[in-house]
Amino acid sequence: MTQALWLGVVLAVGPAAAREWHGLTPGVSTKANVLEQLGRPTKELAVKDVPVLAYVGRQAPPGTTQVQVKLDGPDGKITRIDIFPLAELDAATIEATYGKRCPSDAEAAGCYVKKLTSKGLTYNLYAAEGLAVFFNNAGTAVRTLSFMPPALKAPETTPDGNQAGNPNQTTPGGDTTAESSSGPALEEEAKALEKDPLQIGGTIYFRGALDIGQGDSGACCAVGYGAPFLIDAYLDGRPSPRVRAMARPRLLYTPVLDSTESLGLRSSLGPTTGLTGTLDQLWINFDVFRTVYVTIGRQHVKWGVSTLWSPTDFLASGLKNPVAVFDDRVGVDMVRIQVPIESANANVSLMGVVDPVGALRGDPRPGVALRAEWSFWTAEVGGGAFLQQGRRPRFAFDVSAGLGPIDAYGEVGIRNDSDRPVWSMDVAPDPGTGFIGQYSGGTAKVGIQPSVTGGVRLPVKLSETRSLMLGLEAFYNSSGYTDSRIIPWLTLNGDYTPFYFGQIYAAAYASLSLSEPYPISLGLNTIGNLNDRSFVARVDFSWRFFNALGVELFAEVPFGREGGEFRLNYRFPDQLAPDGSVLFPATSQRLSYFRFGLAFRISV
């Protein structure tokens, strides 16, 4: 799988019970054991007379950004261990390690019961193992793991934690979701950290790629290259346990124009050179009587449950790149009101969107969105609607469920008009008009246009330090094209989006994750456009060491029919007007044989 699905050392557990972590067992191990295993803590706090050992920054154990250990006395036994993972973990990885969902709400060993906090945050409770796994507000990425004595009721809120090294968790497709603009905080931890209410940090992401392909003469080989560097910084302010503010500016530095056409390096900021700045997040969050939770500003809100494609992600600033290991889409300006219904394991959200998708193209259109989510048995369902000025209504439905060892999921997005102009190729073009005369249209398509994606995942636990993920996914896009000869024209008009051009796609992926001695992941992924029978195979490798530096490599090999979406090969000269002026500049895309990329990621 192309996303960085590596299993951090944070999940290293004893073979007897999942509740043991790094040789420490809540209810059994003492402060002396903690000091022996983890060393001297960064801080020793007394929160409401409860001793807390906090390991932060350089002293955080490998695979974590922070660990908090609570004791029942100054030198007493451990009552709880709260872990903030550095690794990018999703629900499937957790299930492969600790067990799948229980077939009913009866708490049993080796499985979990889905719970909902009073603030709308979902968590998996492994009651028999004494483990609660908390997720972000989108329910897609792990935020905190809390180890406690088994058979005790899990906390209804997660630790505040301040997550100094990684305030945002990322999904397997590299999909970034806000670490919880509306996420809950445990009040005593928040009070303990009032002395340091502002956290500053960020990510530096250096990446580059080479593309080996056909030369202008048709012979091998021409070399393309690209090196877009990305810098993310954040200011995370928590002046009160019930108030939070986040600012996350982003800089993209491209010393040379990317000529690789690498599908994994495409930037949502476009093909630019030099230094380009934008704003990823800027929001404030507060609650009203601890019942309604409000987030105002630029933020990330994800709809849908699929791994690769996102046909229902209406509130994102662009379409998700299925093979990108880093999702660089920025947030969207909105006011979001969440009302969790804990008794029904449900959550309702109302959003007033100020700056939706079109704003990045200079076409801002206000809108209103409503979404509801409900969890029951082994399934989760969601539905939403988006009403936007100047656009026809859009609707979204998704479902995911555990079917024995297999996770099945699907989503349906229904548009009543197209996001981009729709073009067609003339059956009998006028030869005198050249390249331009082959195409017509250029207006939005009106009418019901469903997009459907569905797939299955099989998490396999190979050992305590190794896990395997196998998956299949298919995507049907009713507004897509079946003839790849139109791609040059779409590219010239800015209407071409890889992986969303065709009507029918299919993908198979596998990911192997190891936690020792360093977190390592190896992913294999093949995606095909079944309309034009072109494919791309990709290998991703990631290795994280020194608890800070991540090294990522990828290789892409396109294959299948030449001229298809993933094996483009065309050259067109300047298109001239009758007076000799250039209507459209020359455009070309040489046949690519092989792409290779290397990236370094550092979180501070």
The mean pLDDT of 312-327, rounded to a whole number, is: 86
pLDDT by residue (tens digit) across 160-180? 443 333 323 322 223 333 333
pLDDT of residue 525: 93
Cα–Cα distance for residue pair 223/126, rounded to 1 Å: 52
Instruction: Note whether 266 and 252 are within 8 A (CB).
Output: no
pLDDT exceeding 90 applies to what percent of the chain?
Answer: 23
Distances (CA, A) of 268 to 277, 329, 360, 507: 12, 6, 9, 23
Burial label for 15, CB within 10 Å (0-12, 13-18, 19+), is exposed
Q: What is the DSSP letter of 390?
A: T
**pLDDT by residue (tens digit) across 447-457?**
899 999 999 99
pLDDT digits (tens, 9 = 90+) for 349-406: 999 998 655 555 566 678 999 999 988 877 889 999 999 888 889 999 999 988 888 8
pLDDT at 14: 43
pLDDT on residue 8: 42
pLDDT tens digits along 405-421:
888 999 999 998 887 88
**Can you tell me the distance from the alpha carbon of 276 to that of 347, in angstroms, rounded to the nearest whole number?**
38
Q: Does residue 290 or residue 546 have the better pLDDT? A: 290
412: which residues sit within 8 A by CB, 6+ positions away? Answer: 311, 312, 396, 397, 398, 450, 451, 452
Question: Which pLDDT score is estimated for 363?
Answer: 64
Q: Which pLDDT score is estimated for 236? A: 85
Q: What is the pLDDT of residues 114-148, one digit of tens each?
A: 777 656 667 888 888 888 888 876 566 788 888 88
Per-chain mean pLDDT for the chain: 78
**pLDDT value at position 482?**
92
255-274: pLDDT as tens digits: 766 555 555 555 544 555 67
Query: Other CB atoms closer than 10 Å to residue 7's CB: what's the count?
Result: 30
Strands (E), 154-307: 169-170, 176-177, 198-214, 220-226, 229-240, 243-254, 274-288, 292-299
Which phi and psi (to 5°) does residue 231 adopt?
A: -125, 120
The pLDDT value recorded for residue 471 is 94
- Write down the pLDDT at residue 258: 58
Do residues 501 and 490 make contact, with C-beta atoms less than 8 angstroms apart? yes
* pLDDT confidence of residue 433: 63
Cβ atoms within 10 Å, residue 33: 17
